[in-house]
């Protein structure tokens, strides 16, 4: 049986929806914190196992009868590595055969300005390697869905104000990631492999501004301010300190060209072209 953690999240839910196309529901289990959020999965016959990454007893129960686990990285940054270690330990104790982990598509984490925020992905990878479990690391690039987080809902009027310089990102759609992850979870040949699930084309924020200008017929400007000016501006808008810090770190990582890696792995897995960022932008910002 396959256990998908983070199953009430967008990616986890999407993975299970894709698994259900090829795998009987009684061979799929979902780890959820809040059972009421999993009604759609329960209705389809998916096994619901309740527990958080902090709850070692619940994790031990959740791992019973499981041979493959997809550990979806936590969205709670409070001791995220500790949470992940609990899941890995529980999988090992239950003699799970194979663990799949949603990591990040950054090659040189040690020299990345975003290490304080995302370095725990590589710590998790190392902990999994040390556990002796068979592993597959899915090194996901940034979701297309994060673009609106950084450019704002009114970008066509305000332009883009983001200190990402000329750095590019090979954004991916979460729907494509969910489909590819389900293929990997049920496929063969992924033992102890690292797979870069990243777009086949990378875009800078200047290129995003150009694309937005093209279809909106408005002049969408791109400004890459000094990082200190950016963080002071965000603070001036009353944004909480952790949001200001997160946005600044992502911009610095992008400027450092940490998210530029492109790969055909996703296209090959899907057997079709992944969703283009330009199509995503038209869906979100088009008329």
Ligand X SMILES: NC(=O)c1ccc[n+]([C@@H]2O[C@H](COP(=O)([O-])OP(=O)(O)OC[C@H]3O[C@@H](n4cnc5c(N)ncnc54)[C@H](OP(=O)(O)O)[C@@H]3O)[C@@H](O)[C@H]2O)c1
Task: Work out whether 113 is an interface residue with ligand X (CB under 6 A).
Answer: no
Alpha helix (H) residue ranges in the chain: 10-19, 39-43, 56-62, 80-93, 115-131, 147-151, 155-158, 174-186, 205-216, 227-236, 241-255, 265-270, 277-285
Q: Which of 33, 168 has the CB closer to ligand X?
A: 33
# chain residues binding ligand X, by CB under 6 A = 24
Residue 198 is a binding residue for ligand X (CB under 6 A) = no
Which residue intervals of 71-194 are DSSP H helices?
80-93, 115-131, 147-151, 155-158, 174-186
Nearer to ligand X, 34 or 57 (CB): 34
53 binds ligand X (CB under 6 A): yes
- Closer CB to ligand X, 75 or 154, in the complex: 75
- Binds ligand X (CB under 6 A): choice among 18, 112, 140, 164: 140
**CA atoms within a 13 Å half-sphere pointing along the CA-CB vector of 65:** 10
- The Cα 235–Cα 229 span in angstroms is 10
The single residue among 19, 71, 99, 142 that binds ligand X, judged by CB under 6 A, is 142
Q: Does 217 bind ligand X (CB under 6 A)?
A: no
Sign of the alpha-carbon torsion through 114, 115, 117, 118: positive
Of these, 1, 10, 25, 246, which contacts ligand X (CB under 6 A)?
10
Using rule CB under 6 A, residue 261 touches ligand X: no
- Separation of alpha carbons 148 and 284, rounded Å: 8
Please, which residue, 172 or 220, has the CB nearer to ligand X? Answer: 172
Contacts with ligand X by CB under 6 A lie at 6, 8-12, 33-34, 37, 52-54, 72-76, 83, 102, 140, 142-143, 146, 174
């Amino acid at each position: 049986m396959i256990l998908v953690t983070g199953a009430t999240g967008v990616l986890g839910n999407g993975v299970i929806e894709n698994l259900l196309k090829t795998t009987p529901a009684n061979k799929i289990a979902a780890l959820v914190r809040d059972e009421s959020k999993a009604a759609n999965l329960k209705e389809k016959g998916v096994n619901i196992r309740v527990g958080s990454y902090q709850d070692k007893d619940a994790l031990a129960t959740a791992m019973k009868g499981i041979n493959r686990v997809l550990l979806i990285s936590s969205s709670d940054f409070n001791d995220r590595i500790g949470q992940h270690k609990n899941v890995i330990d529980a999988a090992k104790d239950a003699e799970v055969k194979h663990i799949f982990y949603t990591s990040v598509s950054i090659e040189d984490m040690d020299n990345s300005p975003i290490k304080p925020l995302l370095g725990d992905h590589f710590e998790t990878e190392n902990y999994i390697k040390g556990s002796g479990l068979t592993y597959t690391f899915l090194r996901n690039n940034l979701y297309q869905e994060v673009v609106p987080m950084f450019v704002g809902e009114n970008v066509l009027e305000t332009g883009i104000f983001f200190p990402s310089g000329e750095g590019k990102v090979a954004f991916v759609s979460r729907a494509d990631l969910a489909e590819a992850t389900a293929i990997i979870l049920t496929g063969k040949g992924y033992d102890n492999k690292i797979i870069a699930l990243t777009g086949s084309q990378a875009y800078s924020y200047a290129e995003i501004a150009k694309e937005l200008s093209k279809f909106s017929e408005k002049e969408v400007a791109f400004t890459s301010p000094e990082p200190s000016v950016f963080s002071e501006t965000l603070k001036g808008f009353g944004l909480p300190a952790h949001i200001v810090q997160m946005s600044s770190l992502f911009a610095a990582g992008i400027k450092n060209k940490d998210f530029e890696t492109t790969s055909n792995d996703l296209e090959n897995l899907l057997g079709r072209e992944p969703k283009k960022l330009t199509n995503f932008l038209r869906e979100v910002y088009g008329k």
